[in-house]
């Protein structure tokens, strides 16, 4: 993926958002623990079927990007990309994990959850900037940059509403 960073640097608005997000991630990374949860890694692109009322998943497919890590990384994929995936947005995974004590038996699972989740959202957005710069998709690159700026401005999501 050579050249993506130069593409971002050549446009001051993209370079500014990249640098601001990069700095925020550096400030948040210490809140991110070494967890060994099962992380799907690609809960988008029709890999999840949810019920009609979006109250629960029916099935999860395509585990080819499976890794061990922080389960909040999958949550961050869902929240960051929810503007492009209304079905995932309707599921509202971020709030569900705070309302369902059965999500995990680990008492530390939600320690610094808002900070960790925010760090992962920013990292996902930075990766999307790099990808879209590399493939030359100017339209999606601008959409991603605008959304990333909103996430940066918004900051960490509250633990509950």
Would the pLDDT of 45 be above 80? no
In 3D space, the residue among 67, 63, 93 whose CA is nearest the CA of residue 78 turns out to be 93
Provide the pLDDT for residue 13.
Answer: 96
Compute φ and ψ for 148, nearest 5 degrees. -60, -40
Higher pLDDT, 105 or 83: 83
Tally the residues of the chain.
161
Provide the pLDDT for residue 46.
Answer: 67
Q: Domain coordinates of the chain in residue numbers?
A: 10-154
Compute φ and ψ for 16, nearest 5 degrees. -65, -45
Average pLDDT, the chain: 87
In 3D space, the residue among 107, 113, 68, 112 whose CA is nearest the CA of residue 94 turns out to be 113
Q: Which fold has domain 10-154?
A: Aminoglycoside 3'-phosphotransferase; Chain: A, domain 2 (3.90.1200)
The answer to whether 131 and 4 have CB atoms below 8 angstroms apart is yes
């Amino acid at each position: 993926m050579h050249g993506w960073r130069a593409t971002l640097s050549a446009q001051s608005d993209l370079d500014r958002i990249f640098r601001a997000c990069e700095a925020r991630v550096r400030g948040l990374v210490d809140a991110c623990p070494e967890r060994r949860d099962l992380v799907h890694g690609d809960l988008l692109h029709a890999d999840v079927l949810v019920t009609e009322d979006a109250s629960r998943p029916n099935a999860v497919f395509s585990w080819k990007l499976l890794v061990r890590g922080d389960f909040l990384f999958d949550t961050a994929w869902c929240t960051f990309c929810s503007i492009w995936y209304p079905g995932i947005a309707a599921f509202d995974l971020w709030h569900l994990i705070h309302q369902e004590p059965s999500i995990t038996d680990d008492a530390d699972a939600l320690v610094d959850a808002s900070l960790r989740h925010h760090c992962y959202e920013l990292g996902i957005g930075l990766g999307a900037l790099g990808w879209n710069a590399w493939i030359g998709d100017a339209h999606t690159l601008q959409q991603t940059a605008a959304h990333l700026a909103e996430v940066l401005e918004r900051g960490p999501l509250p633990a509950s509403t």
